[in-house]
Structure 1
Amino acid sequence: MSMQWVPYLVMDGNAAEAADFYADALGGEVVDKMTFGDMPDGPNGPAPEEVKSRITHVRVVAGSQQLMLSDTYPGMPYQIGNNVTVSIGIEDAARAREIFDALCEGDSKIVLPLQETFFSPAYGQVVDKFGVFFQVNVPPAKA
């Protein structure tokens, strides 16, 4: 079973610029860039025009290492110092559930329950009892 932990930076409207900067600084490349405008419509309809150019996900890859970034959705809290999360990618959905549930123990806060999304069969967000923000993600099956 494969698992990797990746630093995930949350920006406030400048994730594309930051991704380019880190790619240059680290000798890598920007891959998998997706904006809020690229996402399918949600239950409340399409993303508002003012957020469509914001980044919902982008990766910087340098050698065997990666850094992931996204922008906040306008109105979501953003505070420098609290904008770094840990993304746990794991191929086994049952193990992802075990990890997510373990991180939820104690005085934690579930931000997004582990659930199927348009980009993952199992994705969730939790702030653990130590105040560390984790994203647990099962990548989609390869076609």
Structure 2
Amino acid sequence: MSVRLTPYLVLPGTAGEAIAFYEKALDAQVLFKQTFGEMPASPDYPLADEQKGLIAHAMLQVGESQLMFSDSDSGKPVQQGDHVTICITTKDASKSKQFFEALKEGGTVIMDLHEAFFSPAYGQVKDKFGVTFHLFTEGAAMN
């Protein structure tokens, strides 16, 4: 049996912007995207006009993995940061570097991409949306 873990990011009205950013930064493809306004109307949950353009559910394909997104519709603040972290694993150090450089744009480097005993290229970055990524390249480091 195969099990895949898919991180789900709930953002405070910035999911559409995040989706566009990750499409570029991670070479991602949108598999599905639906706004609250595109969902069937429910008299139990009427939407304000400003909510209709928010993302109700989206899924991106990133290599062999997937990311899910939505905007918060509850009006409550969304805790950003380390409540969701994502490890991006590649076998190509140049691809890890490409992802790292793209994700740090507007973000904060936690640990520079470097050779470590467990990886030829490993680093950590918090992107401009407050999401922490670990970039991990498979393989033994050169000593």
TM-score of the aligned structures, taking structure 2 as reference length: 0.52
Name the counterpart of 1:15: 15
Change in Cα spacing, 1:85 to 1:72, as seen in structure 2 (3 Å) is farther
Answer whether contact 1:10 1:84 (CA < 8 A) is retained. no
- Structure 2 unpaired stretches of 5+: 87-143
Between the two proteins, the alignment pairs up a number of residues equal to: 86
Answer whether contact 2:28 2:62 (CA < 8 A) is retained. yes
Is the counterpart of residue 39 in structure 1 residue 30 in structure 2? no
Looking at structure 2, the residues matched to 55 and 63 of structure 1 have their Cα atoms a distance apart, in angstroms, of 22
Answer whether contact 1:57 1:70 (CA < 8 A) is retained. yes
- Structure 1 unpaired stretches of 5+: 87-143
Paired-residue identity, %: 45
Name the counterpart of 2:57: 57
Q: Which has the higher contact order (CA 8 A, sep 6+)?
A: 1
Tell me the C-alpha RMSD between the 2 structures: 2.4
Query: 1:59: Cα distance to partner?
Result: 1.3
Name the counterpart of 1:30: 30
Looking at structure 2, the residues matched to 2 and 80 of structure 1 have their Cα atoms a distance apart, in angstroms, of 30
Looking at structure 1, the residues matched to 53 and 83 of structure 2 have their Cα atoms a distance apart, in angstroms, of 20
Change in Cα spacing, 1:77 to 1:61, as seen in structure 2 (3 Å) is same
Structure whose alpha-carbon radius of gyration is higher: 2
Moved segments of 4+, more than 4 Å: none
- The DSSP-based 3-state class of the residue aligned with 2:25 is helix
TM-score of the aligned structures, taking structure 1 as reference length: 0.52
Looking at structure 2, the residues matched to 85 and 36 of structure 1 have their Cα atoms a distance apart, in angstroms, of 26
